[in-house]
Structure 1
């Protein structure tokens, strides 16, 4: 498996993102009823934000996931924990299967995203804040080394604030 990660290009990816984000399996993404224009507007907003970035991940040339990285100091999370230098916020969405599910794909995507983030020598810790009800992502986060800190009330959810240091990920990273 060979993953590549590139910036979202709305002219190329808007319809793809729309299909992924509005799929019933993507309920945790929070945009189930969005139309293509709303998805474009959201990702144009992210593109304009110097502290937030959206990326398309491909497996052997086929787009299979969306990930976002952001600076927690410039986000709602800054009010909920002491942001440290080297903290990187992350969101990930694996594309709904287009055919039979591929066993192990989500775990491989999680490792690829974490490797991508830690390629930056300034990145020391990854921060996530998934909805506390999303048990599937909690399991995937634990697989790559995230440790749950505590629940926090964000504007749209109760989140499971979790952290993964570079060392925690290195201890869990397996091909």
Structure 2
């Protein structure tokens, strides 16, 4: 088991934490999540267990990309990827600036949703990213059809810049600065 790198307590939902993904140990869990119909926008619906493990091993070896398993009260509950948009995902589409950090997140599929849980997950992800003083802006590129994530992104301060065509999707290129995020939390800096 890998060590926890970040912990946050949500006033309503309790403790959230993140640790690096351990591809061999976490592959079966991640396979269930990314192949679930609710995770269609992760584009891994047809992947077998070996393909999922290989993908997360590739990410673990990539100096510009990281994957983290999110825990809620110690139980796996979400996935987050962090990447450098100057080297991955948005090369040639977005003029990355110093301090830009790319991000993807996935709340574990569930049949018993908890009100506010996914927003708490995204808030945890954003707090982890902005805990690094070098992070000036978070960049995301969700599928243009993913209206649920667009609403969540807006709730934490993301602003849609434009729709961009990527190899696997049309995406809403969006950014959120530290100040935009803090403004949604009622904080000023």
1:113 aligns to what SS in structure 2?
Answer: helix
Match of 1:160 in 2: 172
Equivalent residue in structure 1 for 2:182, among 167, 170, 175: 170
| Unpaired segments ≥5 residues, structure 2 | 1-13
Match of 1:127 in 2: 139
Structure 1: gaps (5+ residues): none
For 2:138 and 2:59, how far apart are their aligned partners in 1? Answer: 19
The root-mean-square deviation of aligned C-alpha atoms, in Å, is 0.9
Deviations 1:10-59 (A, max 9, x none): 22211000000000000000010111000011111101100000000001
Shift of 1:101: 1.2
Secondary structure at the counterpart of residue 64 of structure 1: strand
Higher relative contact order by CA 8 Å / sep ≥ 6: 1 or 2? 1
Runs of 4+ in 1 over 4 A off after TM superposition: none
TM-score normalised over the length of structure 2: 0.90
Where does 1:23-102 land on structure 2 (aligned, <5 Å)? 23-97=36-110, 99-102=111-114
Query: Is this contact kept in 2: 1:111–1:173, CA < 8 A?
Result: no
TM-score, with structure 1 as normaliser? 0.97
Secondary structure at the counterpart of residue 77 of structure 1? coil
Name the CA distance, whole Å, in 1 between partners of 2:89 and 2:113: 34
- Equivalents in 2 of 1:96, 1:158: separation in Å? 23
C-alpha displacement of 1:81: 2.1
- Indicate yes or no: 2:123 matched with 1:138: no
